[in-house]
Structure 1
């Protein structure tokens, strides 16, 4: 019996074949220089020795496109693209990969799909099956389910195959067709309407994407908030007491007032009645909660904020660590570990490290605590965690691996514990408070430097005691504008609004920068994402048209993503989602074309710095 195994990437095919063959494979070249076929024998789950050929693709084999007669931008109205026929064909340039799979399938009785275990992986698997069945209609299909490129998981996947999930594959097909039609129609419309107005745009495609534009919309909205912000003067009362060699600052419970006269009156009353009374002394144990298990979105947010690596680069590095077997699959929505998860063996392999080995040893010696359970479980992959010990990583790979390890060990530790004291005083009729914190047990903070919990000790105060403050002043301040969006901020907003998936958020951010709709800007030690003039003009132009659901806002795409999730769950049919989503966007296109002069006028009002 011959089994054909197909992985999503050449590196995965090589790693998986080494594990299943115990390092004994024979490699054969193919017509594609990146791909080899690996032949070996292996014991099947019914204790038979079978002949295996492991090969791979380079991601998707196929793509949707319009027939040639719809390719001419000047001869075909963009409106027709909402209803034009589409065809799914093998991507140009990778015919040799298709031919290799078809050739191997002709002599195989079974094909096992080893693509990544997510929506895209299911869809790529369905494309591989289509090619194989075109060459051998009787071939049996199975799917390997795994989350890490380690011996235990790969051998279990080989012995316990599952079925390919065609509902997830259909959801990806639906999204691909929708993105093609919507993106092509609006990209052609934008380009043809605006390109000739400005010399800087004459050689540019002004592309539209139903995820890109809401992403850009978030950036523009925050930018305009900052630009339109008008600072206001406020006044507050500052009270401080020097005691036991330290200065205790008390914060006014009103915070501040925008009415200067009102603040003056209160301040004068405080001066007339200068004795403060301690009305409350509260002491309690407090905890700083350890982090939840690591998801893809959290990896991107925390990584971009603390590791100073872009989300796009970070995901590429995480993918490489996964392929090398050092971390689990880096695309997951799950923030809870299974009850049977083997924490001990994964902690034990980290005891050899000079940076966190002692902490891992402490966990094994009795300090281990079960990780917290978040509220998300995609039923596909566990949270991101280290799977092997890595001692020779450098650069960004080292940074990302170290973060994954520290996050995992922190999850397995206990919450930090502190003692908080709150002092409340009364000066005249006004109340002020001071807070102090003493950390009693750092616990997870010892391994997780990305969280901070600062101590601030207070001298002793007794309820009912009185004192005259060392300082009592009325001070002037000004409101500060909001900050521009950092990449971590943008990822959070996209996730909250359902724009993109955990696996594609970083792609959409990279795309608006690549299209020169936005740029990264370093200010005051932070990296912000700011829109270009063109980005602002496009968003403002669409908003000026007055849609019920603007093309630069998340509502349409969020609804589409919700419907695609229902396709995955078997609650919606692919064809219905495509039909309903296209109807919504087609209506928006018609309204946009009827108001194109508004879009043009807003764009003219901006000077382009391309």
Structure 2
């Protein structure tokens, strides 16, 4: 499956995975000291940060004395701005941060809109133009939101925050009051996110006093930063972010503090993080891939086609890697964000009457024809690459009965199992867990020679290794294997097993 939005998006995921796979960690060292004044202890960090040479780090560390002199002190009041009104992208990112799938969040938002609880959920606008804020605040009066409402209404004047202004629909905001008993749990969670965010945009900014202190320890400079809130403002009513205070004692330039402890920390550089649903949607917006309406749908397509897995850490499958690498070799334009971004820009120009649609259509036809010609010309190589990877992904080991490949299959009823690739000549098959994550290994059972698998339950971090043969003595008992999600009865007739083994995934 290839598309002008899904392919560049998938390419970004694959490229990030390649960065992670090729990443080589490098060692570095950091130095911290523990200072104390008036029974208040706090940490100061080496100002130069990372030290790449171990001997240099050890030398600096060993020469540190027992006293630290305050040589510089800066205090300033900082404003922590409240959030701007919700557009679709920021809504989906916020929902994802609360463990709500982006596609699910969009579906729920549409349901809430149809029920008259929120405004239209597909928008780029971040300014409340034409929104009757007093009317909405009056409608929201209920125990769940009264605390925030009282604080907002006590202000001399309610001035909402604002971001980008477009001719689009207004930002996502509540329209009428919903209560827990009227909504499903996930619907209530999404509704509350939208209400809480809306209220936060109407409350005042937070204020904090930041202190930056520098200390001289045997001519090496260390720094410590403190933060004390003067006014929590919108943070009092917004549960989706946290700001921790870091309290420093009252310091005076020139005074001497005692170094209570010091630490030389050995660390390694870390690979770039995998995309989450939230960060990927933000990247798609930045690269102009898709629209506010289509981005969640594109993600759903990538999941449904087994190109990607995971939500907080999105990982591409081997098939996805092969598809992208093959397209880069034979149809590079398909995976280029620039092509799609240009087309999106041109469609906007058409919408605004600044570009004739005929020219864009004609150019698109030519581009598509070139891509299709390249794909057709190289269809044999493309097919071979993808087929080989697909086989590698589905083969899980050797059949103990005939030594052919054992492959992952899906039954007519949708259940996954392992069957022999020589079916119907060989009817060897094994059930698989229908819940949790199944990870295939390259290990074989010492007793029955069947492949071994790892089972990861979604609510547990640890994995357990099992032989796929539920009757094997290596498993403590068949009951234990069955309790882990194995389907089927080992005493089933040959006919029943054959019926279960009819179709490949």
Instruction: Flag structure 2 segments of 5+ consecutive residues without an equivalent.
Output: 395-504
Structure 1 window deviating more from structure 2 (314-323 vs 596-605): it is: 596-605
Give the counterpart of 1:265 among 56, 59, 65. Answer: 59
* 2:311 is the alignment partner of 1:311: no
**Residues in 2 aligned to 1:479 and 1:414: alpha-carbon distance in whole angstroms:** 39
Following superposition of structure 1 onto structure 2, how do residues 30-179 of structure 1 map, counting pairs within 5 Å?
Answer: none
Q: How far off its partner does 1:314 sit?
A: 0.9
* 2:342 is the alignment partner of 1:559: yes
Any idea what SS the aligned residue of 1:484 has?
coil
Instruction: Tell me the alpha carbon deviations over residues 356-400 of structure 1, each in whole angstroms, 9 at most, x when there is no partner.
Output: 1132123223265312221241x1311111111112223121111
**Residues in 1 aligned to 2:318 and 2:265: alpha-carbon distance in whole angstroms:** 39
**Residues in 1 aligned to 2:72 and 2:339: alpha-carbon distance in whole angstroms:** 52
CA contact (8 A) 2:36 2:257 kept: no
Any idea what SS the aligned residue of 2:290 has?
coil
Give the counterpart of 1:462 among 227, 234, 252. Answer: 252
Instruction: Flag structure 1 segments of 5+ consecutive residues without an equivalent.
Output: 1-206, 522-526
* 2:376 is the alignment partner of 1:584: no
What's 1:354 paired with? Answer: 143
CA contact (8 A) 1:291 1:407 kept: yes
Give the counterpart of 2:73 among 281, 301, 319. Answer: 281
CA contact (8 A) 1:215 1:494 kept: yes
Give the counterpart of 1:326 among 91, 103, 117. Answer: 117
CA contact (8 A) 1:293 1:384 kept: yes
**Residues in 1 aligned to 2:315 and 2:333: alpha-carbon distance in whole angstroms:** 20
Q: How far off its partner does 1:231 sit?
A: 1.3
**Residues in 1 aligned to 2:39 and 2:281: alpha-carbon distance in whole angstroms:** 45
* 2:13 is the alignment partner of 1:228: no
TM-score for both structures, normalised by structure 2: 0.73
Q: Judging by fraction of residues, say which structure has more helix.
A: 1
What's 2:155 paired with? Answer: 366
What's 1:540 paired with? Answer: 325
Instruction: Tell me the alpha carbon deviations over residues 499-553 of structure 1, each in whole angstroms, 9 at most, x when there is no partner.
Output: 11011110000011111111226xxxxx3221111111111222244x6x54223
What's 1:255 paired with? Answer: 49
Q: How far off its partner does 1:597 sit?
A: 6.0
TM-score for both structures, normalised by structure 1: 0.61
Label 1:359 to 1:216 Cα distance change in 2 as closer, same or farther (>3 A).
same
CA contact (8 A) 2:36 2:258 kept: no
Label 1:475 to 1:212 Cα distance change in 2 as closer, same or farther (>3 A).
same
What's 1:76 paired with? Answer: none
* 2:214 is the alignment partner of 1:420: no
Label 1:537 to 1:411 Cα distance change in 2 as closer, same or farther (>3 A).
same
CA contact (8 A) 1:544 1:599 kept: no
Instruction: Tell me the alpha carbon deviations over residues 40-60 of structure 1, each in whole angstroms, 9 at most, x when there is no partner.
Output: xxxxxxxxxxxxxxxxxxxxx
**Residues in 1 aligned to 2:217 and 2:365: alpha-carbon distance in whole angstroms:** 65
Give the counterpart of 1:503 among 290, 293, 311. Answer: 293
Following superposition of structure 1 onto structure 2, how do residues 490-529 of structure 1 map, counting pairs within 5 Å?
Answer: 490-520=280-310, 527-529=312-314
CA contact (8 A) 2:5 2:290 kept: yes
Matched residue count: 391
Any idea what SS the aligned residue of 2:14 has?
helix
| RMSD between aligned residues | 2.0
CA contact (8 A) 1:419 1:440 kept: yes
What's 1:212 paired with? Answer: 6
Any idea what SS the aligned residue of 1:423 has?
strand
Instruction: Tell me the alpha carbon deviations over residues 319-345 of structure 1, each in whole angstroms, 9 at most, x when there is no partner.
Output: 11111111111111100122x542111
